[in-house]
Amino acid sequence: MEHKRKVVYTLVLLLTLSLQAMGNHMKITKAVVPAAGLGTRFLPYTKAIPKEMLPILEKPSIQLIVEEGIASGITEFDIIANADKPELEHHFSHNERLETILEDKGKLDLIESINTIIDTVQFNFIPQPEPLGLGHAVLQAKNAIGDEYFGIFLPDEIMIGDVPALAQLIAVAEKYNASVIGVLEVPHEKVSSYGIVAIKEELEDGVFEIDHLVEKPKLDQAPSNYALAGRYVLSPRIFASLENTKPGAGNEIQLTDGISNMMHNGERVIAYVMKTNRYDVGTPLGWIQANIEVAMHHPKFGPVVKELCEKLLRYSYKL
């Protein structure tokens, strides 16, 4: 009797594991972070310092991106950066001299958050030889990604919410077995700054079948105000599409156009409205807003910052 029960248990276990394996074939563990941009919207600060190193409180903004990735299950980050930005590689490598000094002072905890990241996940730094556009930047990760679905983070876009934005996309990608682009509604007068989605059909709340995509349309030609907002889960088929994508808006090889081509070749791409607060930290205004929200959530600084904001609004600035 005991033996029979063991056999039944084993069979149930095997069946469960194989069903899980079938359902989980889209395991997403790699992400591309294109970080080769010039940061022109944040000059003169970005003249000598990469925009990805702008601080959000005590962390550079790119560390927040990596933390969102890790919280979404990413274990390999392929960072596309040009040779002018060695700071990114320095930040994601151990600094033995600093560690020795901090250890002697009993203050290693000050770099614990970054050292844990360095010890937990892998970073590849891949150069983009020429600044030919976002699609071209992503294409540089072709060999690193290989034949797997993967995530993309545009590091200007900082997302703050209960569930990491990329994890939300991954859940939709697994459910529909498709590529997913994260979208957010933007004011109509801003559509020409974004990739915009033309919606075919709403599949469920905030999940859309796409008709087509258009990069930076004129206001009167925009099919909606749902903008691509810096998070993607894409099929590796994107690389073949990008190789055949001609320069588009701004005479650059656009990721949006590569995704459109991939759709024409039969890949299903779904748009998902991310549940998140979003800040464009590539601009001074978005950067200060992100800092205020992060500071307000901070266990130590939160109460002080809230009090300061209230005080400034009440007394200092009579608008």
Residue nearest to ligand G1P (CB): 195
By C-beta, is 39 or 195 nearer to ligand G1P? Answer: 195
Binding marks (x or -) toward ligand G1P, 143..162, rule CB under 6 A? -----------x-xx-----
Region of 45-53, 101-109, 225-233, 262-270 interacting with ligand G1P (CB under 6 A): 225-233
Q: Quick check: 60 binds ligand G1P (CB under 6 A)?
A: no
Size of the site for ligand G1P (CB under 6 A): 14
Region of 104-112, 117-125, 222-230, 294-302 interacting with ligand G1P (CB under 6 A): 222-230
Residue 137 Cβ vs ligand G1P, minimum distance, rounded to whole Å: 10
Binding marks (x or -) toward ligand G1P, 226..265, rule CB under 6 A? -xxxx-----------------------xxx---------
By C-beta, is 114 or 241 nearer to ligand G1P? Answer: 241
By C-beta, is 213 or 305 nearer to ligand G1P? Answer: 213
Q: Quick check: 34 binds ligand G1P (CB under 6 A)?
A: no
Q: What is the 3-state secondary structure (H, E, C) of the chain?
A: CHHHHHHHHHHHHHHHHHHHHHHCCCCCCEEEEECCCCCHHHCCHHHCCCHHHCEECCEEHHHHHHHHHHHCCCCEEEEECCCCCHHHHHHCCCCHHHHHHHHHCCCHHHHHHHHHHHHHCEEEEECCCCCCCHHHHHHCCHHHHCCCCEEEECCCEEEECCCCHHHHHHHHHHHHCCEEEEEEECCHHHHHHCEEEEEEEEEECCEEEEEEEEECCCHHHCCCCEEEEEEEEECCHHHHHHHCCCCCHHHCCCHHHHHHHHHHCCCCEEEEECCCEEEECCCHHHHHHHHHHHHHHCCCCHHHHHHHHHHHHHHHCCC
- Cis peptide bond upstream of 236, omega within 30: no
Q: Quick check: 138 binds ligand G1P (CB under 6 A)?
A: no
Among 134, 234, 274, 295, binds ligand G1P (CB under 6 A): 134
Q: Quick check: 270 binds ligand G1P (CB under 6 A)?
A: no
Q: Quick check: 52 binds ligand G1P (CB under 6 A)?
A: no
Cβ(157)–Cβ(231) below 8 Å: yes
Q: Quick check: 215 binds ligand G1P (CB under 6 A)?
A: yes
By C-beta, is 114 or 259 nearer to ligand G1P? Answer: 259
Cβ(236)–Cβ(146) below 8 Å: yes
Binding marks (x or -) toward ligand G1P, 62..101, rule CB under 6 A? ----------------------------------------
By C-beta, is 77 or 194 nearer to ligand G1P? Answer: 194
Among 153, 194, 232, 272, binds ligand G1P (CB under 6 A): 194
Q: By the criterion CB under 6 A, which residues form the site for ligand G1P?
A: 134, 154, 156-157, 194-195, 215, 227-230, 254-256
